[in-house]
Every structure is written in structure tokens, then in C-alpha cells.
Chain A
């Protein structure tokens, strides 16, 4: 197990290097001179030349990459063109809000998904199964940004129960643990929870049906064990995989929150990306993507290690 953990951690290093190459390349696949986007349009050619050397744009891509990587490793993601502030600062402000939203959505989606999945798998082919399976298909098929709008139409515009946008009263930029702020979290979290709900439900349904069909469960039943004990066995066997799916889904939500954050004007990394795209703020775009991808890779690593530790069948 320990050797496997070390091996798995070492394996993420080349992947992270590749991820940083992709992020570095983002600025360079963008059309136009990267310098133009930084400079005011009336900059003199002399100033242009000075900055080109200052930013290292005159060097080879390989040199530029390692200069950039060295800065990134020291925590310097560059400077936002639009705001003039450090990208590291901008991202660290936004990432907490996104984490909060993704965490609540994951827990919600996981709970609902497990519930639907269990019901569907346990009462395989009954009307309940059909209903739960339908909910699962709905979850993976619905365009969530559209669902967000529909929820706003119904619960904000129609019923007026929840606020439709922002993270708190009066354009509060940071989410806090109080009732006022919690109201702002409800609709985006539900919207976001729909995707993992569908995927978790599908996985759990297949898992439960699989486990119930296995001989040891039939054996348990044959030995006269009650439904509850059988249920416990099913939970014990389904848990590692279900948890792994949940972890990976959380990663997807972190990275994929942009559409939902835009719908609800949630001040997280997604909104930051949206701003970066429309102001052509490439350093901000690059930095945000790098941070989110790193979160995703690390989360995948943790999930993998956790699953290995939990599942007695995987001995590595």
C-alpha cells in the first residue's frame, strides 16, 4: 500500500508538468502578440521592445516556459491585465466561494444520488426503479445552466423564496455562515447537485444490483439474515466505489462551475474565468485554469489513495 501510494504520487508529477505545459500554451495559442494585450494601444515601439525583453517574450518557448514555471512554483501566477492585481490574489479570493458551492452541491448530489441509486438497485425493475432511473437520466441530460434559469424563474421570480443572484445581501463578495448568506446558496447548489446526482445514482444502482446478485448475498439470505443485515453488507461493499465517484464528481464541479456561476453571478473562479475571457485577460485565464486543474489532479490522487485504503480487494 505504501509503495503504491508513493508510486501514485510520483506518477502525478509528470501529469502536473503536462498540465502546466498546456496552461502555458494557452497564452501562446491565443491569436495575436501576447504583448499587445498588456500594452496600451499608443505605446511607443521603444517601450514595446523594453517590455518584450522584460517579460521574456524574446526568448525561446522552452526558456519562457521554465521562467514561467519557476515563478508559478513560488506562488506567482502573474498580474491581471484588467485589474492590475496579482492573479494569485484574485484566484485565492474566488476559490473559497467555488469550493463552498461545490462542496455543498457534492454532498447534496451524493445523498440524493445514493438514495435514488439504492432504491433503483434494490427494487430492480419495479416502478420505483423506473422513477429513480428516470431521475438519473434527467440529471445527466439536463443542461444545468438552463435548469438554473428555470429554478430562478420558479423560486425567485415566481415564488420569491430565494434570491436569484450573488453570494450574499448587498453584493457581498464572500460567502459566510449565516442564514442570510445560506439563502443565496440554495438555488446554485441545487442546480449544481443535479449532475453528480445523476451519475452517482447510475453508479450506485449498478453496484447494488451487482452486489445483490452475488452469491455471498444469496448466502446471507439463505442463512436467514434479516433485510437490515443484508443492507449493511451491500452498503459496506458499495461504499468505496461510491465514495470514489463522489470525489471525482467534486473535482468536475470545481472545474465545471463556470456556467452555473455565470447564471447566478456567484463570485467564484467561474465568474473570474468569465471575466478573464471577456476582457481577454490571458494571465488571469491561465492562472485560474492552472489552479483548478491542480485541484482536480490532487483530488483524483486523494480519491485513488482513499479507495485503495478502503477496498480490501485492492492490494497493491
Chain B
């Protein structure tokens, strides 16, 4: 039988192709950049992240330094531009420092849940059959709890604390991510190019790695980012209930709780920590909306 393809004459010929073409993510980024709302939200988030990261340099004073003589000072007090809390600590500094734990509590559980949830969902979707039934029916059980209730139940039973709260939030976000991952994967599994890959004799693992992951992780990730907004509100909510970060460490939800009794004295100062939670949450919502519509359009 004749050689199917003529032997390569000049193996060195494999030069990078002359015409470069934009990858999928680059075109998403191009569309996202034109979305003013999403870009503004993204900028705000970047600024808040940087602010928290560099709290040591940015905070004007020690967030733990109490000053009983200067309790509940109003906004615009000299030395305390955003006033002081019930123990006389500088609000501006505590808000800046508070970003660290608030963002950690709000964002990290979603990322951890993204890891576990997508793994579960992709395995369930790709394997199908009994594996799918076992995984998805278990997921359904956790889905049968409203998210706030599940978070409160778990951290209530485990006891207050940053780690327990983050663990509870992770458990809350695994089921929805697993569900989305499963449906995206199941849908993709029946597409022709997966069949074609099977027809070329590739193993299930190779197909998963080369053809499935690249196509499902994007949509799952975007869905997960839309959960960060909820997670921020829930995380701060747990701290607000006293289940998350414990005093004296600054965290926005916990600060809001501590200042609750001061609303008759300094209503504006009381509202400040909530403004931060709101700002981060709405920015994540707008950014993930923008990301979704930037990904939807197929050129």
C-alpha cells in the first residue's frame, strides 16, 4: 500500500502562520472593553481590591486603636474623616482594613465551590448513567435548602468563626455550580466534535482534557462570578449575625452589626460598612452581566 502522505520534504517548514487570528477570549475581552457599565464596575472592583491589599500603606491610622473620649464621632471630624465607631476607632481605617476579610469571605468560597462544583458537575455530565444519578441527586438534597438557611444552619451548628463561615458558604455554592456544570457538559457531550474526537480513538480522559474542559469551564466560570455578589452579601450577613469574623478584627458585616445600636446617634456612620458591601456586590453583578453578554455573541 502506498504511503498515504508524501514524506515531509522540509520538516523545518512549520513556521508560525502568517495571518494571526484572535482567540475566543481575546474577542470576548474586546467586546467587554466596549461595555462602559461593566468596565466601570470592573475598575471599582480593582480599586477596592488594591485598597484592601495595600491597607497597611493606605489606612491613615491603626484600625484597632481605641479612643473612648472620641466615640461615635461624625463624618468630617478632624483626624477621623469618616468618623469613629462605638469604641472610638477610626472608621476610614477600619473600612480599608475590613476589605481584606470581607473580600476573602465573599470571594474565596465561590472559587473553592467553582473547583469542586465544576468537577462534580463535569464528571456527572460526562459519565452520565448511574454516576450522574448519584452525584446529581445528592446535589439536589442541598439544593432543597434556601441558600441563606443552609449557610446559617451549617455555621450555626459548627460555631462562629471565619473558617466555619467560609466552609458553610462553600457548601452553599457547590450545588448550583454543579448543576450548571452538569447541564453544560451534558449538552456538549452530544455535539459532533466530541463524537469526532471519539472516532479518532481518543480516550475519555483525553477528550475531557482537550475538548470538554475548554468549552465548559468558560460558561461555568461566568456563572460562578455571578454568584460572588450573592456570596458577598451572605458572607457579610453571617458576620452581621455574629457567625463570621469575630471582633476586634474589622469586617464590614460585623462592623455593621456593632454599629447597629449607634444608628440614633450617627446614622450616616452606621450606614458606611453596608455601602461597601453594596458597592462590591453591585459591581460584581454588573461585571458578570457584562461578561455574560460579551460571551454570548458568536462571531
Interface-located stretch among A168-176, A232-240, A273-281: A273-281
Complex interface: chain B residues within 8 A of A16 (CB): 144
| Chain B CB within 8 A of A285 CB | yes
Q: Are B146 and A255 in contact, with the CB atoms below 8 A?
A: yes
Complex interface: chain A residues within 8 A of B145 (CB): 19, 22, 255, 289, 293, 296
> Given A22-B142, A274-B241, A141 and B158 touching (CB < 8 A)?
no
Q: Are B146 and A292 in contact, with the CB atoms below 8 A?
A: yes
Interface of chain B: mostly helix, strand, loop or mixed = helix
User: B157 contacts which of A21, A29, A297, A300 (Cβ < 8 Å)?
Assistant: A29
CB of B277 to closest CB in A, whole Å: 5
| Chain B CB within 8 A of A55 CB | no
State which size class the interface on A falls in. Answer: 35 or more
Interface membership of chain A positions 128-165, coded 1 if the CB is closer than 8 angstroms to chain B and 0 otherwise: 00000000011011111111011011000110000000
CB of B80 to closest CB in A, whole Å: 20
Q: Are A143 and B237 in contact, with the CB atoms below 8 A?
A: yes
| Chain B CB within 8 A of A254 CB | yes
| Chain A CB within 8 A of B52 CB | no
Q: What separation, in Å, do the CA atoms of A150 and B274 have in the docked complex? A: 9
A residues 104-140 in Cβ contact with B at 8 Å: 137-138, 140
Q: Are A15 and B229 in contact, with the CB atoms below 8 A?
A: no
| Chain B CB within 8 A of A259 CB | yes
Q: What separation, in Å, do the CA atoms of A23 and B154 have in the docked complex? A: 9
Interface membership of chain B positions 122-160, coded 1 if the CB is closer than 8 angstroms to chain A and 0 otherwise: 000000000000000110111011111100111011110
| Chain A CB within 8 A of B46 CB | no
In the complex formed, the residue of B with least CB distance to A277 is B156
> Given A146-B256, A258-B148, A285 and B156 touching (CB < 8 A)?
yes
| Chain B CB within 8 A of A200 CB | no
> Given A31-B158, A137-B282, A273-B156, A15 and B149 touching (CB < 8 A)?
no
Interface-located stretch among B9-17, B62-70, B263-271: B263-271
| Chain B CB within 8 A of A219 CB | no
Q: Are A259 and B240 in contact, with the CB atoms below 8 A?
A: yes
Query: Would you list 9 pairs from A and B whose C-beta atoms are within 8 A, ordered by A residue?
Result: A14-B137, A15-B141, A29-B158, A149-B270, A157-B267, A254-B146, A258-B152, A289-B149, A296-B146
Given A18-B138, A145-B274, A277-B243, 17 further pairs, Cβ under 8 A: A16-B144, A31-B158, A141-B278, A141-B281, A141-B285, A143-B232, A143-B274, A145-B237, A146-B274, A146-B277, A147-B274, A255-B149, A256-B148, A258-B148, A289-B145, A292-B149, A296-B146
